[in-house]
């Protein structure tokens, strides 16, 4: 039997359609609750949703991402289905296909729909080409930016989702970077409200900015840190660890001793893992990894054999070949250093020497 589902519906001024959407999805198999996120509505959206049986929460900050992030956090169950609030006619029974497509290793199920009045310009002209170039493992999806999908929030740092229209893509990329499968099922014909060109223009700008921001992050470069203890890891690699985890990439840390402090700082990220140094030789990259990057302290020369992807090896200390800006990782690195009783003056970058390139 599949786990129960929380349905979240971000809504802003959708009083005309929200009651129908709520009433319809709450009758789906496996749906345990429906949560409507009132995203600053000026009409009766919240009242209509509540009357239809939804739990209503408020998110005053404008932006689809803020609403989704709030709704995912408020959901009672890890499997979360996100549904649009402006749906007109749709084939309810086909939505159940998303729940049925869950299987071991699947982290997200996209609902591929068709609307005879929507030529899907965003998908054809922007999203699909960008995915084929940057994330080819997702390049064959028919509806990659569909706003109707089901995912396992326990696999991603959902508190870090982007606050704008690109949030649906962010969920998908994070699930992919965590090593889980993205499936797609046909949910039939759906009629949305008509969109004007200005709407598409704003969406395109936010989505393009999102893709450009993800390009330098190397989401599919899995990082392995090998160090004598957590002090060495925090001092030399703490910023890289933090930045990768915030972006959604997977990071494994192998230590000779200790690790509780790193766990306290980074343990809330689903893509973080720590293990004893002796287990490093058996490390295997996740299913979607494009590259394995091993970062080790000097003198710790145990490599990770048998990788099925290209492997880079970096070392800390000594002459530096690669400077890595800390950017978003500064705060978490400082938190780790403070817990360890070490100086918290953090330079703007961490530097590494390239030992081998795959």
148 and 56, same domain (yes or no): yes
Q: What is the mean pLDDT of the chain?
A: 90
* Residue 113: predicted pLDDT: 75
128 and 80, same domain (yes or no): yes
Pairing of strands 31-38, 349-356: unpaired
Q: Domain boundary residue among 159, 187, 215?
A: 215
206 and 350, same domain (yes or no): no
161 and 32, same domain (yes or no): yes
13 and 80, same domain (yes or no): yes
Q: How many domains does the chain have?
A: 2
- pTM across the whole model: 0.93
Give me the phi and psi of 197, to 5 degrees please: -60, -35
For the chain, strand residue ranges (E) read 5-11, 31-38, 55-58, 79-82, 106-114, 149-152, 181-189, 221-229, 251-257, 272-276, 291-296, 311-316, 322-325, 349-356
CB 29 within 8 A of CB 98: no
Give me the phi and psi of 285, to 5 degrees please: -65, 155
pLDDT tens sequence across 131-190: 999 999 999 998 998 899 999 999 999 999 999 999 999 999 999 999 999 999 988 766
Question: Which three-class secondary structure state does DSSP give residue 275?
Answer: strand
d(CA 344, CA 274): 23
211 and 290, same domain (yes or no): no
* Residue 197: predicted pLDDT: 66
43 has pLDDT over 90: yes
pLDDT tens sequence across 179-214: 999 999 988 766 655 666 676 678 889 999 999 999
Chain centroid to CA 230 = 26
Query: How far are the Cα atoms of 33, 58, 68, 172, 296 from residue 38, in angstroms, in the given order?
Result: 16, 5, 11, 23, 48
> Per residue, what are the HEC states of 82-134?
ECCCCCCCECHHHHHHHHHCCCCCEEEEEEEEECCCCCCHHHHHHHHHHHHHH
289 and 273, same domain (yes or no): yes
d(CA 138, CA 323): 30
CATH number at residue 254: 3.40.50.10320
d(CA 314, CA 239): 15
pLDDT tens sequence across 238-282: 999 999 999 999 999 999 999 999 999 999 999 999 999 989 988
CATH number at residue 204: 3.90.550.10
Full residue range of the structural domain in which residue 181 is found: 5-215
pLDDT tens sequence across 101-120: 999 999 999 998 766 666 67
CB 278 within 8 A of CB 209: no
């Amino acid at each position: 039997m599949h786990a129960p589902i929380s349905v979240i519906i971000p809504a802003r001024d959708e009083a005309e359609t929200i009651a129908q959407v709520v009433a319809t999805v709450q009758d789906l198999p496996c749906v345990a609750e429906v949560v409507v996120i009132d995203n600053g509505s000026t009409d009766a959206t919240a009242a209509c949703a509540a009357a239809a049986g939804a739990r209503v929460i408020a998110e005053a900050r404008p932006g689809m991402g803020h609403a989704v992030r709030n709704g995912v956090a408020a959901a009672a169950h890890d499997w979360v289905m996100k549904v649009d609030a402006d749906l007109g006619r749709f084939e309810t029974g086909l939505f159940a296909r998303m729940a049925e497509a869950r299987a071991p290793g699947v982290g997200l199920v996209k609902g591929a729909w068709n609307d005879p009045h929507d030529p899907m310009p965003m998908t054809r002209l922007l999203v699909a080409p960008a995915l084929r170039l940057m994330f080819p493992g997702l390049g064959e999806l028919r509806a990659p930016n569909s706003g109707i999908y089901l995912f396992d929030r326990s696999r991603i740092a959902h508190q870090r989702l982007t606050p704008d229209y690109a949030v649906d893509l962010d969920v998908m990329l994070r699930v992919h970077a965590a090593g889980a499968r993205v499936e797609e099922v046909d949910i039939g014909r759906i009629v949305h409200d008509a969109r004007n060109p200005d709407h598409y223009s704003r969406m395109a700008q936010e989505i393009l900015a999102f893709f450009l921001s993800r390009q330098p992050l190397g989401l599919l470069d899995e990082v392995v840190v090998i160090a004598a203890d957590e002090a060495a890891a925090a001092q030399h690699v703490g910023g890289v660890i933090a930045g990768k985890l915030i972006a959604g990439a997977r990071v494994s840390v192998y230590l000779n001793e200790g690790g509780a402090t790193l766990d306290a700082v980074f343990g809330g990220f689903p893509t973080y893992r720590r293990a004893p140094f002796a287990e490093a030789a058996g490390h295997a990259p996740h299913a979607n990894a494009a590259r394995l990057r091993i970062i080790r302290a000097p003198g710790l020369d145990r490599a990770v054999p048998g990788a099925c992807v290209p492997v880079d090896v970096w070392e800390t200390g000594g002459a530096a070949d690669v400077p890595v800006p800390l950017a978003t990782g500064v705060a978490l690195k400082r938190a780790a250093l403070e817990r360890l009783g070490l100086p918290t003056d953090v330079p703007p970058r961490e530097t590494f020497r390239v030992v081998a390139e795959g």
